[in-house]
Chains A and B, each alone.
Chain A
Amino acid sequence: MSKLFIFNTETLSAVFTNHKGKSSLIYAPIIFILMLLAGFYCEAQSPVQLAPPLLKYHSVFFKKAADVEIKFAQQGTQIQYTLNNQLPTEQSEIYTKSIHINKSFTTVKAFVSGDGFLPSEMVTATFIKDGIKIKSVQQSPANKRFQGSGATALIDNEGGLTDMNASTWLGYQEGDVEINMLLAKKQALSSVLINCLQNQGSWIFLPAQISVFYFDESKQSFELLGEQLNAPNEKISTVSCQPIIIAAAKKKKTKKIKIILKGIKNLPEWHAGKGQPGWLFIDEIKLY
């Protein structure tokens, strides 16, 4: 601190001397005020924001437990986080070692702070426990560029990564996506979770329509369990995984599930690809 103080005095004296031809003690108070102003100016320029920390995990889906690491290799900073859905503050827990999660729908929210810097943006990830056992799955073939991890990609507990090039994503651009699932045995089903990627900048939107059907044995037909429509009105710049939950009004006993996803046929007016079909990315389905 004292070093810079001296530096400021010299610099300002020099400026003052240049202006008036010579400097004298009489100008000391003026120099002092100028110094304060200069300090004020430096301070006004200096606060720089920290970048967000990195959340590192294998998958947000887990059978028994998941471990989450938060990385930020910058001296003089600390990571703080919450697991209770509250926004983390400088009073929140300080991160020291990896977080062990075994409760479904636990959300990690973290940010970084440090002296002399503006705190970072918050990063977040929700961890999801396995549901009803699914015996087999069959889905419409994905685009050859985004094939996921293969035939069982939607039930392998792998995914929840915001990187669109992660090997877990199934990507679709044309036609409806049909997914058929067979349970190990007849079960009472209350909800279906479909994990989707939202990355509008890369033309990846949430499905325009999700319809979930269960097989009614008495009627020998598929009946609607629940439905959701998403209109892409809002421009969202952040990239995120969106676990969409379709809940049944009443629990239904069934052994077979059919899901129909409709992608966006025409990207909205505000989008660079307006009028063209959007992409739809999914990586996991859970039944509860």
Chain B
Amino acid sequence: MSLAYVSKLVQSLTSEKNVLLCMSRGLGLLRVIETYLCSLGEGVHILLNFTKHELCELETKLVVKDLSDCSPQTRVKNYRKGGLIYVTGRTITVDLLEQKLNPSEIKTLVVNSPEKLASAAHERFVLELMKQAQSISCLKLFSERPELLKSRILEEFEIQKVVCGSRQDSWISEELSNLPGVWVKETVAVCSRTQRINNMLLEMIKECISEIKRTLKVTCS
């Protein structure tokens, strides 16, 4: 059964050109990406920064061409055919520069986990090439680690809209309120000595942190 918040999030992606979708972790980001990719029409849609595992998950529902290990000829052939194409950032950059693919032919650029990207990564290069070619394609960024997203990423990708899907949002939490048939919560009892060791170790961590702060002259609220 597909969840309503997934479709709602996907719908809100279409209003602007450069959109970042940021969700609470564990709410099914890959499901949202999958639904979004399903909604795309014909043309070349480039998928970047996906792990092999994530790609396998997508491939169970969609036809995604993984061109990361293909020859240049195969890549050119597949660019011409269009569809959902996964390549590495480096490969697509070189292919665009070598005119194996015209930047204006890219309809959508989907970047997963932008928080993992280094500054001036290939993904940013691809965007620059698309801009230079005056491409009207869309850029969609998907992340479920909001705490790691820095303003640098928003600036570099010139994000026009951030779509948030927080677990605390009522339209999401209502849907997730279905509890399992039986849910037993039990507290694990630890002996006093274990607790003492635990407290000692935690104290030592705090001691280290205080020492670091003292050395670096950092203030923490």
A and B held together in a complex: no
- Give B residues with C-beta under 8 Å from A: none
